Amino acid sequence: MPNPANAYNELITLVKEAALLGSIGSLLGWDERVQMPPRGADHRANQSSLLARKVHEHGTAPRIGELLAQIEAAKTADPDRAANVREIRRQYDRATKLPASLVEEMAKTEVLAQQAWGDARAKNDFPAFAPWLEKWVTLKRQQATCYGYTGHIYNALLEDFEPGETAENLSRVFESLRAPLVDLIGRIVASGRRAPLDILERRYPADGQAKLARQAAAAVGFDFNAGRLDVSLHPFCSGIGPGDTRMTTRYDENYFGDAFFGVLHETGHALYDQGLPHEHFGTPRGDAVSLGIHESQSRMWENLVGRSRAFWSHFMPKARAVFPDQLKDVTEDQWYFAVNDVRPSLIRTESDETTYNLHILLRFELEKALLTGDLSVPDLPAAWNQKMKTYLGVDVPDDARGCLQDIHWSGGSMGYFPTYTLGNLYAAQFFEQARQDLGDLDAQFGSGQFAPLLTWLRENIHRHGKRHRAPDLVQQITHRPLSAEPLLNHLRHKAAELYGV
């Protein structure tokens, strides 16, 4: 008779081996976007596609299915084991539905399409990228068909990023935000108050920005002995494995906010990766709950902490030390207003807390339409521009600042964008609870004490890995289901403070 304990140990060994192979792929991906020479793209595509096939074959081996069946036949009271078996079963069932040829083709397309996107964005040439996007739409439809789905085709892809979520539910959630946000933005614009953005648009040399960004990342808890910060076209964070978490940013010497808050954002992701239990690496217990929960960590450190008045009462002297000439005539109140400016804008990654979710709504609707065929790829720029005008009142001057601005579609990440809004919702609700549990967070931030919040996040979120699904985690921590109210309350409070509305 099979021994469930032996079967479980063998299963974990196989799963960890697949994760090690996957981490090699992550390293190749980081290198591709940070330091690979342009002419290496074809070879890297071949490397990535071969490795993706090997990872897929390893993770879909019949032996894993046999072991799961043996383990599931014997109930367990161990919560770690139960979580691992539950999530490995889910991943195995999905992975075995994908043919290796499709997995290999998607990995190869990701490398080549991202290179094409980078060139097209630099040259403002959407037609050059369009064939790659058309290929991705075809591949994603194939992937969704292999998975199978109920309701919208989008649900099959969303499951990869936010397990259990549906396009139908997201549409309802987004609708609960749309009207209050449009109303709030309208009142802010009508207030006539304008933040002094010119103080962010002075010349801030990249080396000084890099120094200050590293100070901020270290201050909130990023371990540079277990990570790095580099430069790439599009900022990202990659958790290669225990002791190796890599962030990137980009510097605009004529705008302070892009790199600084981008680094705080990626630091939030990195802190989550560095806080996952290393002993469980390669298993669900050593992995993040979902992309939405991951995004909650980045948005919390970027916005709820990094744009707070308390943060800058502590960090303004450090900024003045690095940029004495640029900030000599700037008060703390002016700086706080500038970094919390609210106004409709073109670029998602540079948009403010209040308008950000409308950028996500736009992308969510376009993705759904591309997948169903209601929108053709050649018509995407016009559809994008129309929605930007309708939702944000913004005229898009070119595709580089329009539908080519994000890297996600070039990597085939359809279903990813909604997790950003979910992250904002999770972040606000978690932060509200942290205030209740930890006392005066503003006083702590003002004196440079960020460790209490990080410890709270590690205790309540990071250390659990995938022990809980996202809705259960929110309920457990905050004692209620996910709600839009904490985020709306936060945004309204700041608007009242700065804009008097």
In a domain, 147, yes or no: no
Q: Are residues 92 and 188 in the same domain?
A: no
Quick: pLDDT tens for 270-287: 999 999 999 999 999 999
Catalytic residue (choose from 87, 110, 159, 266): 266
Q: Are residues 83 and 199 in the same domain?
A: no
Coil vs helix vs strand at 231? strand
In a domain, 146, yes or no: no
Average pLDDT over residues 493-498: 97
Distance CA 416, CA 420 (A): 8
Whether the CB-CB separation of 297 and 276 falls below 8 Å is answered with: no
Q: Is the per-residue pLDDT at 2 higher than 70?
A: no
Q: Are residues 76 and 176 in the same domain?
A: no
pLDDT band at 3; cut points 50, 70, 90: confident
pLDDT at residue number 428: 98
Amino acid (one-letter) located at 168: E
Q: Are residues 187 and 320 in the same domain?
A: yes
23 Cβ partners below 8 Å, 6+ apart?
240, 241
In a domain, 309, yes or no: yes
Q: Are residues 46 and 172 in the same domain?
A: no
pLDDT band at 473; cut points 50, 70, 90: very high
In a domain, 375, yes or no: yes
Residues 33, 242, 214: CA angle, nearest 5 degrees? 60
In a domain, 149, yes or no: no
CB atoms within 10 A of CB 52: 21
Residue 262, φ and ψ in degrees, nearest 5? -65, -40
Select from 93, 110, 126 the last residue of a domain: 126
CA 299 remoteness from chain centre = 9
pLDDT at residue number 322: 98
In a domain, 143, yes or no: no
Tokens in use for 246? 């890599």
Select from 126, 153, 188 the last residue of a domain: 126
Amino acid (one-letter) located at 107: A
Q: Is the per-residue pLDDT at 56 higher than 90?
A: no
* DSSP labels, 378-430: GGHHHHHHHHHHHHH------GGGTTTS-SGGGGT-TT-THHHHHHHHHHHHH
Q: What is the mean pLDDT of the chain?
A: 95
pLDDT at residue number 77: 83
Q: Is the per-residue pLDDT at 449 higher than 70?
A: yes
pLDDT band at 234; cut points 50, 70, 90: confident
Q: Is the per-residue pLDDT at 88 higher than 80?
A: yes
Q: Is the per-residue pLDDT at 137 higher than 80?
A: yes
Average pLDDT over residues 41-70: 92
Q: Are residues 112 and 248 in the same domain?
A: no
In a domain, 73, yes or no: yes
Name beta bridge partners: 230. 248
Quick: pLDDT tens for 241-261: 999 999 999 999 999 999 999
Average pLDDT over residues 58-73: 94
pLDDT at residue number 220: 98
Helix (H) / strand (E) containing 240: strand 237-241
Per-residue HEC secondary structure of 475-500 comes to HHHHCCCCCCHHHHHHHHHHHHHHHC
Q: Is the per-residue pLDDT at 1 higher than 60?
A: no
In a domain, 151, yes or no: no
Average pLDDT over residues 13-34: 94
Distance CA 18, CA 34 (A): 25
Q: Are residues 396 and 464 in the same domain?
A: yes
Average pLDDT over residues 172-189: 89
**Catalytic residue list contains 175:** no
User: Among residues of the chain, what percentage have pLDDT more than 90?
Assistant: 88
Residue 120's domain comprises 4-126
pLDDT band at 375; cut points 50, 70, 90: very high
Select from 126, 144, 179 the last residue of a domain: 126
Instruction: Tell me the C-alpha to C-alpha distance, in Å, between residue 374 and each of 4, 304, 369, 379.
Output: 50, 38, 5, 10
Q: How many domains does the chain have?
A: 2
Tokens in use for 331? 């008060």
Name the CA radius of gyration of the chain, rounded: 23
Q: Are residues 121 and 256 in the same domain?
A: no
pTM of the predicted protein model? 0.89
Q: Are residues 74 and 207 in the same domain?
A: no
